[in-house]
Amino acid sequence: MAAYSLRLYEDTLAPNHAPIYLPAAARACYVVHGSATFEYDEGAQHQRAGGAWLGDAPLALLAGEEGATLWRWELDATDAPPGELRSAPGATSTCKLAETIDLDPRQQWLMRCDSVYFPPGGIAHTHVHQGPGIRCTLEGEIAIETLGQRHVHGPGDAWLELGHAPVLAPTTEARDTTFIRCFVLPRACRGRSSIRYVHAEDGGKQKPQRYHVFGERFISLA
């Protein structure tokens, strides 16, 4: 296994901010508020709130007329410099979570960004995933029970799931809950669910959660 750094940043850009330039990195960017244009080697893509962009090329980032708030995940070497935005006086950037994850360099990997929605009182029964990732709550509240600990995450809270460690995840009964997720999976998971239920009896239970995949991108580990 080899160690890599997975980081989640929250970037807030003023309306019509001058382009911000980011170096090459495996990344996913989710637009929380406003809109943004992502310019890269092969072209450009505009995303409004509720959309995401994935890629690994050097990036020019432009905010729309309403400004933009982004959640930006980056996978890089553990000794890579911090990725907060620089030389951008009309922008703020905060690292919400930085974690070291172990990946098998013999495996081929992809990065996936998606959303997971639960109705009030929904629950993800005890499960594992095929790779690690960082989640961040968009609305509602979710409890994560894993490795003998329980933590409750409200809007804007981020957490790491290792993938191989079983997780039980009940949500609040007061309202809907949605979180945004970026995780690293074997390429063989392309277009397939990565979830596996730990207890056989849970496999046949009703699954209230709904998923929306924004995109997947094959990545190469340096």
Residue from 169, 166, 99 nearest 133 by CA: 99
Give the domain-ending residue among 100, 125, 155: 100
Are 8 and 83 in the same domain? Answer: yes
Are 47 and 133 in the same domain? Answer: no
Are 113 and 93 in the same domain? Answer: no
Are 126 and 196 in the same domain? Answer: yes
- Tell me what the pLDDT averaged over the chain comes to: 96
Residue 63 structural domain: 2-100
Are 34 and 82 in the same domain? Answer: yes
Name the domain count of the chain: 2
pLDDT band at 86 (very low <50, low <70, confident <90, very high): confident
Asked whether the predicted pLDDT for residue 168 surpasses 80, the reply is: yes
Q: Residue 211 in contact with residue 114, Cβ under 8 Å?
A: yes
- Calculate the alpha carbon distances from 168 to 64, 152, 178, 183 in Å: 39, 12, 16, 18
- CA gap 153, 171 in Å, rounded: 9
Q: Tell me whether strands 91-103 and 20-22 are parallel, antiparallel or unpaired.
A: unpaired
- Calculate the alpha carbon distances from 209 to 11, 25, 74, 105, 144 in Å: 28, 31, 26, 32, 15
Are 60 and 127 in the same domain? Answer: no
Per-residue confidence (pLDDT) for residue 135, from 0 to 100: 98
- CA gap 9, 7 in Å, rounded: 7
Give the domain-ending residue among 100, 123, 157: 100
- pTM (2 d.p.): 0.96
Here the CATH number for the domain that contains residue 207 is 2.60.120.10
For residue 216, give the amino acid letter. Answer: E
Q: List the structure tokens of 183.
A: 């995780």
If you average pLDDT over residues 68-96, what whole number do you get? 91
Are 31 and 116 in the same domain? Answer: no
pLDDT single digits (tens) 131-167: 999 999 999 999 999 999 999 999 999 999 999 999 9
Residue from 167, 107, 97 nearest 135 by CA: 97
Are 38 and 80 in the same domain? Answer: yes
Give the domain-ending residue among 100, 125, 159: 100
Residue from 17, 21, 22, 23 nearest 35 by CA: 17
Are 51 and 71 in the same domain? Answer: yes
Are 81 and 113 in the same domain? Answer: no
pLDDT band at 174 (very low <50, low <70, confident <90, very high): very high
Residue with token string 């009896």: 201
Q: Residue 185 in contact with residue 107, Cβ under 8 Å?
A: no
Are 28 and 95 in the same domain? Answer: yes
pLDDT band at 108 (very low <50, low <70, confident <90, very high): very high
Are 163 and 211 in the same domain? Answer: yes
